[in-house]
Each structure stands twice: as C-alpha cells, then as structure tokens.
C-alpha cells in the first residue's frame, strides 16, 4: 500500500509500493490498469473513487509543489471494471476486454466484437491471462485544462492523485483502503496550443 509522502514519488507503481508519479503530455487520454492485491474480485459491489486535485503550481517552478491550489480544480476519474462473463463457452460470442474463466485461469479477450471460436482460450492467441482484481483508471484528455497555471516548455504542472476503495456493506465493519496515491505530472504540448 502506498504510504510515502506525496512530494516524494520515487517508486514505480508496477514494481513496488509507495507514492507514484504519472506523467502525461497535456491532451493525452490514457487508461492504466491497477492490480488490487487485497481484493480477489472487483466485480463485487465495491466502491471505487480516483481523484486528482490541482497542486499549487507556480510559473517556472523548479520543484514539485507540496500544497494544493486554493479553490483549485478537482477531477474525478472514471474507473472501468472488467466485464466478467463467467465460464468460457465455445458457442458464446465475446467482445474486447470480456473476461472468462476456463479451468482455474481467467482470460481476457484482447480485441474484437462478437468473437466466437471453439479453440480453448489457453490455446487461442486472441485471449490473454488476467485476474479479477484489476481495475482500469482512465485519465481524460481534459486533465489540467482548467488549472490556474499551464505547463510550459521544460516546466510541467502537477496534481495530487489518490485511489480509494470501499468494500460492500457488511454487518461487522466496512473497510476503506487508499492503496495508490502520488503526483500526476502534466507536460507541455505543442498540439495543445495549436488551433
């Protein structure tokens, strides 16, 4: 679980825990998978929230900011969950990103729409192994478009990122985790300023 300070994003999200740094060129629209090791099945009714809060950026800043922008923008990100279709069946048709269970392994269809094939997922290149504890955080192309300071050449701007996961209601105690947090860096883009 990420417990490092926001202003110390030295760890890589894919290899270890700690604060993360995502870097985008202004106007990029990307989706990133996050594996939640403390959950087995994200298709259960968990509540997911991912936000970016504008940092207190300054013109020509040399260091990453350590405070939020007063009355700054807060962006709620979309989280896409896997579409679990149950056990694989040779006669069913599947769409891109559908997840099935074959044997004891989960498989995700890499691409296609209405895909039907009697070849087992374990032998079919159209399928790749996956898990049911992966969520997909979507970063919109409009990120940082309303921030007080725009990035300029060699001077990015930053926001603070956090992912929050709350388990479904239970009769004992509802857990909430904040497994990923850190900085989002937005870099200058020539195409963003070109009409």
- Could you tell me which residues come within 8 angstroms of residue 102 by beta carbon, excluding any fewer than 6 positions away? 87, 88, 120, 121, 122
Give the Cα separation of 80 and 31 in Å (integer): 9
Domain 22-81+133-193 has CATH 3.40.30.10: no
Indicate the domain borders of the chain. Answer: 22-81+133-193, 83-130
Listed range (26-30, 76-80, 128-132, 167-171) with the worst mean pLDDT: 167-171
Average pLDDT over residues 23-44: 94
What does pTM read for this prediction?
0.85
Work out the number of other CB atoms within 10 angstroms of the CB of residue 21: 17
Whole-number average pLDDT of the chain: 91
Structure confidence by residue, pLDDT tens digits, 63-99? 999 999 999 999 999 999 999 999 999 999 999 999 9
Class of the domain covering 83-130: mainly beta
2 versus 113: the higher-pLDDT residue is: 113
């Amino acid at each position: 679980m990420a417990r490092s300070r926001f202003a110390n994003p030295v760890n890589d999200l894919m290899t270890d825990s700690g604060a993360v740094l995502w870097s985008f060129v202004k106007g990029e629209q990307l989706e990133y998978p996050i594996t939640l090791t403390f959950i087995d099945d994200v298709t259960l009714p968990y509540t997911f929230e991912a936000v970016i809060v504008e940092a207190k950026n300054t013109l020509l800043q040399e260091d990453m900011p350590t405070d939020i922008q007063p009355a700054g923008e807060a962006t709620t990100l979309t989280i896409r969950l896997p579409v679990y279709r149950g056990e694989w069946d040779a006669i069913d048709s599947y769409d891109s990103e559908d997840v099935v269970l074959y044997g004891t392994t989960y498989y995700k269809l890499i691409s296609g729409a209405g895909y039907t094939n009697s070849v087992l997922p374990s032998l079919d290149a159209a399928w790749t192994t996956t898990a049911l504890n992966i969520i997909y955080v979507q970063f919109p192309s409009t990120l940082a478009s309303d921030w007080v300071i725009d990035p300029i050449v060699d001077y990015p701007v930053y926001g603070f990122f956090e992912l929050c996961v709350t388990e479904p209601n239970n009769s004992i105690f509802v857990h909430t985790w904040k497994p990923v947090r850190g900085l989002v860096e937005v870099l200058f883009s020539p195409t963003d300023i070109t009409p």
